[in-house]
């Protein structure tokens, strides 16, 4: 076989005996051999161990993910390989146990192919990964390696995390599906904290259907899987209060998406966000900096000289935020979350940009999460749907946003939208 099949196809074929895990892993490793020297998506990869585990799973494995290789963002603990958190401080660190999401994936039969590159502590200091569509452009971050590995066909599934825009933005830049669930839907035990009330475990996949399949298993929620019946979502298109940051590529992509959806017979109407929500962007930044300053206090107080300038600046700023300002930011987020159903009145989901535009040129930054921050603060489910391209041929995703806890509908709507875009 050549290349990695979708996760759902692989699961079906492994179950019926027409594909072995060893053959699937060899196909992934062949693809890695072709693409990894340029893309550099992997932080740790043991090919011999992966093949040995594949043979073991072919003989003794079971579960819905039996024999399917997955990538693990290197901010997530793994007991059998190093977990470096994107920092030289932890490059040889071996956690005593797997993170909950990794343990659950193994229990479901998955094969841990390796650790994917993360930015430093999942913030903004880039790692070595390059965009698989153009190595002179960023893949986004902080889940750089996971997005690039999936988009390159090196692995069918990967874990990421999002505190601002670290799943949705790289999925858009790299051209794969990215799903940030409702806050807390996937357990975070064993994931290095950045900002405790924002950090969310998410997934990358080739298709929305694969992302839903993977998350349904890890979250223990079978109803997340996308049914075969036709769903025609009612869609609210919102340009949000950050629209001035939209580049022509994103403006065109959003308009094109709306036109295609209407042509497919779907209801798409314009939605204006409440004026009060203008403060949510600043609120998310306040919450993130305040909480990060506390979660990274051990490093900041003892080895700050070994942190990047970008991270040190954030932690210094966060330490200066008054508790009353933090509490006010949290209160605004709670108020907006309580009123979110009114914004979606009569609609199933919102459609909004995944990122300001195509992946920026250069590797010194990972792009701007301006179109992701408020949804992460609200904790609602978000999916970056691939299928569109910008003026230079780079991928441009559109973001689907659902109600808190209504991930099933958000995923089903995303699949329907993706079919119209493809």
> How deeply is 265 buried, as exposed, middle or buried, from its count of CB atoms within 10 A (0-12, 13-18, 19+)?
exposed
Cβ(191)–Cβ(99) below 8 Å: yes
Cβ(210)–Cβ(7) below 8 Å: yes
Strand 111-116 to 42-45 pairing = antiparallel
Bridge partners of 396, per DSSP, are 388
Task: Write down the catalytic residue from 87, 166, 172, 216.
Answer: 166
DSSP 282-336: HHHHHHHHHHHHHHTHHHHHH-GGGS-HHHHHHHHHHHTS-HHHHHHHHHHHHHH
HEC profile of 101-156 = HHHHHHHCCCEEEEEECCCHHHCCCCCCCCECCECCECCCCCCHHHHHHHHCCCCC
Structure tokens at 364: 């010194």
Q: Give the whole-angstrom CA distance, residue 292 versus residue 416.
A: 37
Residue whose token pair is 């793994």: 78
The alpha carbon of residue 236 and the mean position of all alpha carbons in its chain are separated, in whole angstroms, by 22
Task: Write down the catalytic residue from 21, 66, 73, 146.
Answer: 73
- DSSP H or E segment with residue 42: strand 42-45
Q: Is 414 marked active-site?
A: no
Task: Write down the catalytic residue from 21, 87, 142, 144.
Answer: 142
Q: Is 142 marked active-site?
A: yes
Q: Give the whole-angstrom CA distance, residue 119 versus residue 126.
A: 5
Q: Is 166 marked active-site?
A: yes
- CA dist list (Å): 393 to 13, 26, 259: 33, 30, 20
> Residues, the chain, total?
422
Cis peptide before 142 (omega within 30 of 0): yes
Residue among 101, 94, 97, 92 nearest 71 (CA): 101
Q: Which active-site residues does the annotation give?
A: 73, 142, 166
């Amino acid at each position: 076989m050549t290349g990695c099949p979708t996760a759902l196809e692989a699961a079906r074929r492994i179950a019926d005996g027409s594909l072995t895990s060893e053959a699937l892993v060899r196909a992934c490793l062949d693809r890695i051999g072709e693409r990894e020297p340029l893309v550099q998506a992997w932080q740790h990869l043991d090919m011999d161990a992966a093949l040995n585990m594949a043979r073991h799973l072919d003989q003794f494995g079971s579960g819905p993910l039996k024999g399917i290789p997955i990538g693990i963002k290197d901010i997530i603990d793994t007991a059998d390989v190093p977990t470096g958190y994107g920092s030289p401080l932890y490059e040889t660190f071996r956690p005593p146990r797997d993170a909950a999401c990794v343990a659950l994936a193994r229990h479901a039969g998955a094969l841990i192919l390796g650790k994917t590159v993360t930015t430093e502590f999942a913030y903004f200091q880039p790692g070595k990964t390059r965009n698989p569509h153009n190595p002179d452009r960023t893949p986004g971050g902080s889940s750089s390696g996971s997005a690039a590995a999936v988009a390159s066909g090196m692995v069918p599934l990967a874990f990421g995390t999002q505190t601002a825009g670290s799943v949705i933005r790289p999925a858009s830049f790299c051209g794969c599906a990215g799903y940030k669930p409702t806050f807390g839907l996937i357990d975070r035990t064993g994931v290095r904290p950045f900002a405790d009330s924002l950090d969310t475990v998410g997934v990358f996949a080739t298709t929305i259907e694969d992302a839903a399949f993977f998350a349904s298993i890890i979250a223990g929620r079978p109803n997340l899987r996308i049914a075969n019946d036709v769903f025609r979502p009612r869609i609210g298109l919102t340009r949000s209060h950050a629209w001035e940051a939209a580049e022509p590529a994103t403006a065109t992509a959003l308009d094109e998406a709306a036109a295609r959806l209407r042509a497919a017979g779907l209801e798409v109407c314009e939605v204006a966000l409440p004026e009060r929500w203008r403060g949510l962007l600043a609120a998310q930044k306040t919450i993130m900096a305040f909480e990060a300053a506390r979660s990274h206090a051990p490093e900041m107080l003892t080895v700050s000289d070994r942190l990047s300038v970008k991270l040190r600046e954030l932690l210094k700023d966060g330490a200066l935020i008054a508790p009353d300002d933090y509490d006010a930011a949290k209160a605004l987020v709670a108020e907006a979350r309580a009123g979110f159903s009114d914004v979606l009145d009569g609609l199933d989901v919102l459609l909004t940009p995944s990122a300001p535009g195509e992946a920026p040129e250069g590797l010194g930054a990972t792009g701007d999460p301006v179109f992701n921050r408020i949804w992460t603060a609200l904790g609602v489910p978000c999916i970056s749907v691939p299928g569109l391209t910008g003026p230079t041929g780079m991928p441009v995703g559109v973001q689907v946003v659902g109600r808190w806890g209504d991930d099933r509908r958000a995923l089903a709507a995303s699949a329907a939208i993706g079919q119209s875009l493809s």
